[in-house]
Chains A and B, each alone.
Chain A
């Protein structure tokens, strides 16, 4: 049991960024005192595994992101089941919902995001859930036994993962998407259509350019009436339209907020000694060069880890983050990173090279800058060794001399020009032996 008091490092939140911070901190500082405040009253789990659990692929114990003794071994005091309600940055104190106060030397805000509920009346009914937390998971699980039909509001990554999970449990799933295609801001049109094909083949019903006009039922949703007038009876309604950064703790502290809590490359906010990471933060995107909210698991963990190093006085910069997703819908694997959808205002100087195989199932697209750097890519179907592309992107390599090689399904370091190849692998090979 932990006592209230002062801690060298205090973390608010209990997900990827928190673990990143603790693992970063403890790799360089074994002795300082560390505490965290966790709102949910359970051991750290991975939100990203919710669809795998509800889809029946994993058991509940597999949802834990780190072993049960993780915090003990890292010597972290956990204030579980409590919410931080106020940061007093002048005296370096965080106040909890039970009135207790925790002092800190350095603070990390890793409060994550909260699911967005669109302003549609009736979304507060019993069988309506977001797809974000343990209570969501337990609520949905309870409904699964008796559910035959479900409506998923939102055709983004979360909505589609929810849809597939429910489909796997034998439920007829209806997906509603306001835009004219699925995954609209995340992937390009070609990819959207490949995903639509995969979902339709599996038997999901898709409704594009559509949303809920009316939720019908008294205490429970019984059906929804769509914008186009159609009516879908349902036993379960999942809202998966997005997540908004939880920034309320920044209010009144002087911490600058730009949709998310704005941090520099050291993950420090505008108030010295206070850091932020993960879904609540606006972090540096090395592709666009601007700070933006990028609520993705790798960014959260790495942001937390880099915050941890900097909190411990070891200078590290967060310069590896961008938008990136590894996704799969039924048997279609997709990875993307950086810019792959070129909007009207991004087109300047960017060139697209792409190849859609005749079998229709393999697709590769790269977005190149004027000087030949990869600014983004998307691979559908064949994703093996995709990380090499991300590495070329991070290292800002001019790929023009070998750009057609990028389309090879087995593209590797052998396909790079000699000088570049050995430069990138200088610590990995021994040359000059003959």
Chain B
């Protein structure tokens, strides 16, 4: 199980990681269709930390002992022992936001459209990590650890 790491010094603050994260979690996985034609506009599951000139992307760390899983009242969050991912099941989520209160990285996001959270799933089911592979300056890398 690895994790995505940011290289703040070479991050340009273009926010393309957010854009492509949103695309990765859209229905069509197509940047134009996703933003123009899908009923639910796609949302990113990471944040670009910004205090110019400083910028860097931060996404769920998929912690070894995740505080969000500890706090979850509905069983919607769990740590998958095989993949190492911290997995979220939106069908089980009630939007109590206990995970928002406890995530030390501020990386569980409130879905503005309905009472539930959204978070990074390490592009589960996709063939690439969208934020990493679309970063124009390689300011995001995936490292095994």
Contact = CB atoms under 8 A, between A and B. Distances in A.
A and B associate in one complex: yes
A52 interface: yes
Given A384-B109, A434-B9, A298 B92 contact: no
B105 A388 contact: yes
Contacts of A434: 9-10
Contacts of B55: 414
A385 B106 contact: yes
Contact of A52 (B51, B94, B141): B94
Contact of A49 (B58, B94, B106, B141): B94
A46 B96 CA distance: 13
A429 interface: yes
A433 B3 CA distance: 18
Contacts of B92: 62
A434 B9 CA distance: 7
A412 interface: yes
Contact of A387 (B91, B94, B106): B106
Interface of B: 3, 5-10, 47, 49-51, 54-56, 58, 61, 67, 70-71, 73-75, 81, 91-92, 94-110, 115, 141
Contacts of A62: 74, 91-92, 94
Contacts of B51: 414-415
A407 interface: no
Contacts of B5: 428-430
Interface string A317-340: 000100011101000010101000
B104 A298 contact: no
Interface in A367-424: 383-388, 390-391, 394, 412-415
A387 B108 contact: yes
Given A62-B92, A412-B106, A428 B61 contact: yes
Contacts of A387: 67, 99-106, 108
A64 to B, nearest CB: 7
Given A326-B100, A412-B47, A432-B9, 15 more contacts: A46-B73, A49-B73, A57-B115, A324-B102, A333-B97, A383-B97, A384-B100, A385-B107, A386-B101, A412-B58, A429-B5, A429-B6, A429-B8, A430-B7, A431-B7
A324 B56 CA distance: 30
A213 to B, nearest CB: 35
A143 B81 CA distance: 43
Contacts of B115: 57, 328
Contacts of A431: 7-9
Interface of A: 20, 27, 46, 48-49, 52, 57-58, 62, 64-66, 297-298, 301-302, 305, 320, 324-326, 328, 333, 335, 337, 383-388, 390-391, 394, 412-415, 425, 427-434
Contacts of A383: 97, 100-101, 110
B106 A388 contact: yes
A337 B47 CA distance: 24
Contacts of B97: 326, 328, 333, 335, 383
7 contacts: A66-B75, A298-B67, A326-B97, A335-B97, A337-B101, A386-B101, A387-B106
Contacts of A335: 97, 100-101
A387 B119 CA distance: 14
A429 B56 contact: yes
B106 A386 contact: yes
B140 to A, nearest CB: 10
B101 A49 contact: no
A48 B141 CA distance: 39
B61 A391 contact: no
Given A387-B105, A428-B58, A298 B70 contact: yes
Contact of B74 (A46, A302, A325): A46
Contacts of B141: 430
A333 B98 CA distance: 11
Contacts of B67: 298, 320, 387
Contacts of B73: 46, 48-49, 297
Contacts of B101: 324-326, 335, 337, 383, 386-387, 390
Nearest first, the 7 closest Cβ-Cβ pairs linking A and B are A385-B106, A391-B104, A48-B73, A387-B103, A414-B49, A414-B51, A298-B71
A297 B96 CA distance: 12
A48 B99 CA distance: 14
A350 B26 CA distance: 47
A28 to B, nearest CB: 12
A403 B103 CA distance: 20
Nearest to A52: B94
Contacts of B99: 387
Contacts of A320: 67
A46 B105 CA distance: 26
A78 B66 CA distance: 27
Contact of A57 (B94, B100, B107): B94
B58 to A, nearest CB: 7
A297 B7 contact: no
Given A326-B98, A383-B97, A413-B58, A302 B70 contact: yes
